[in-house]
Structure 1
Amino acid sequence: MNPRNFAEIKIIEAFEKQTDDCPICELIYTSVEKFVEEILYEFVNDPNTRSRLRRGICSKHVLAIENTLNNHPELGLLGLAIIYEDIMSEMIKDMVKNCHTESECLFCKHESESEKIYVETCTSFISDILSIYEKSKRILCRDHYWKIFLATNHINQENLKAIQVKKLLDLKSKLTVFIEKHDYRKDKQMGDTPRACKIAGMLISNNRIQDGRNRLWLWRFLPKR
């Protein structure tokens, strides 16, 4: 397989990783994390960036920014303080003028664009990806399974479905072991079931929170083996 562009390289690498979370979710989170770093490193004083940030930042991405700062303490808090002060100044102006404007999180926009790129790119060479996916521990989440499934042809749909069902049955069996472990009539080892519960929770959940924004990045916080 010869990747044609950077997105394909990243997708192949993500699907080849031997972790049991969603590869597309991870790619999107990583993209957002790098976007946060770029803004805090280089664009705090960029007029265009500041103008776009004045529309507000959603609570999810405030947490993502804080997580990035925890991982990169060298960034310091000055850049973030400048951004927050600018946003609050805009909020105060709007309140004084009784001018209500809808918030529009720049990071949500970036996340949505990243998801579109990765899903479309993955679908464009899904027949190659399926062979990698079948051998890896990766499991597509509900949303990304359906987005890829609905965007490809019937043959690839059937192959993807067979692989996904097999992976889900394996995960389900781990949950069954956990349940049976609590049956006094049986004697079974718990195995990987605590993590299986976390993975299952993410797989069955809807990737949209109540205000419509995406929460794909939560995959990042699943504990690794």
Structure 2
Amino acid sequence: MSLPALYIKLKEALVKPGCPVCRITREAGIRYLEGLLYEMVNDPGTREMLEASWGVCQAHARELANFTQYSLGIAILNEALLDKAIKLVRQTLNIGLESCSPLIHNFLLRKRNPASAGTRMAAVLESTQPCPACRIEAETTGNVLHELNFQLAQRDPQITALYSKSSGLCWPHFRRALSLAEDPAGIRLLAQVQLEKMAALQSELKEFIRKHDYRYLGEPWGGEKDSWIRSLKMLSGWLLG
């Protein structure tokens, strides 16, 4: 079943450079972080979730560093996380792991970790939930790929035309799209377009490499000049800007 809002987002993303799934997914992650900082900083449920994940992952921390308008909210959340971290480290140091609290003792039993005391302390400090922004992005990725496969299977003229003219998918999202696809004709179209985009990019990379040969250094650059960046994006799913 198609989701109208997602259909519109997919059409908008397909006319922009780069993998449309990466673009929609990243935008969903940024919207989630902005909403969290704008209205959820003091929400108990949100605070509890962030404590379980020890905040956000490294990639989303870099995103947060750009949100200077929400610096106070970030400070409030991270001060609480550091308070929890300080108390937990002090607790494990002061009482010793051999005579620790029932909660920590039971946790270590579940881990069945016979390693050193330091390793066991580190296990206590592990996150118990994934980065919440990563979770939102993972859900978005699945929804977008289902929508793309659905529309290709339905032979939607707009999506089919836009996808054929787009940059194609990044390699990770292409593999994931194939794993979710069921319609043979849709799979064929998905693969044919991807092959065209990869072959075109490969040709540009060859031209980029050729023009670095001393014999051709005087030749002017064309569209292949940024092909090395676009190859990073296609192969890794990395979206810049």
Category of TM-score, reference length = shorter chain = 0.7 to 0.9
Question: 107, 113, 133: which is aligned to 2:139?
Answer: 113
For 1:201 and 1:37, how far apart are their aligned partners in 2? 28
Deviation, 1:135, is: 2.1
- What's the secondary structure of 1:220's corresponding residue? coil
Who is 2:72 aligned against?
78
Compute the TM-score of the two structures, normalised by the length of structure 1: 0.81
Question: 85, 88, 97: which is aligned to 2:82?
Answer: 88
Question: 180, 184, 190: which is aligned to 1:151?
Answer: 180
Q: Which residue type is aligned with residue 132 of structure 2?
A: L
Moved more, 54-63 or 89-98: 89-98
For 2:149 and 2:84, how far apart are their aligned partners in 1? 41
For 1:203 and 1:171, how far apart are their aligned partners in 2? 9
Q: Which residue type is aligned with residue 219 of structure 1?
A: L
Which runs of no fewer than 5 residues in structure 1 stay unpaired? Answer: 206-215
Return the index of the structure with the highest Cα Rg. Answer: 2
Compute the TM-score of the two structures, normalised by the length of structure 2: 0.76
Instruction: Quote the sequence identity (%).
Output: 29
Who is 2:226 aligned against?
195
**Cα pair 1:177 1:188 within 8 Å, conserved:** no
**Counterpart mapping for 1:112-191 below 5 A:** 112-126=138-152, 127-128=155-156, 129-136=159-166, 138-152=167-181, 153-186=183-216, 188-191=219-222
Who is 1:219 aligned against?
239
- What's the secondary structure of 1:174's corresponding residue? helix
Who is 2:19 aligned against?
22
For 2:20 and 2:148, how far apart are their aligned partners in 1? 11
Superposition RMSD on alpha carbons, in Å?
Answer: 1.9
Which runs of no fewer than 5 residues in structure 2 stay unpaired? Answer: 93-103, 105-123
Structure 1 residues 60 and 43, CA, compared in 2 at 3 Å: closer, same or farther?
same
Residue-by-residue CA offset, 1:35-91 (whole Å, 9 max, x unaligned): 111011111111111111112121111101112x1xxx4x24111100001111121
Who is 1:32 aligned against?
29
Q: Which residue type is aligned with residue 37 of structure 1?
A: E
- What is the number of equivalent residue pairs in this alignment? 200
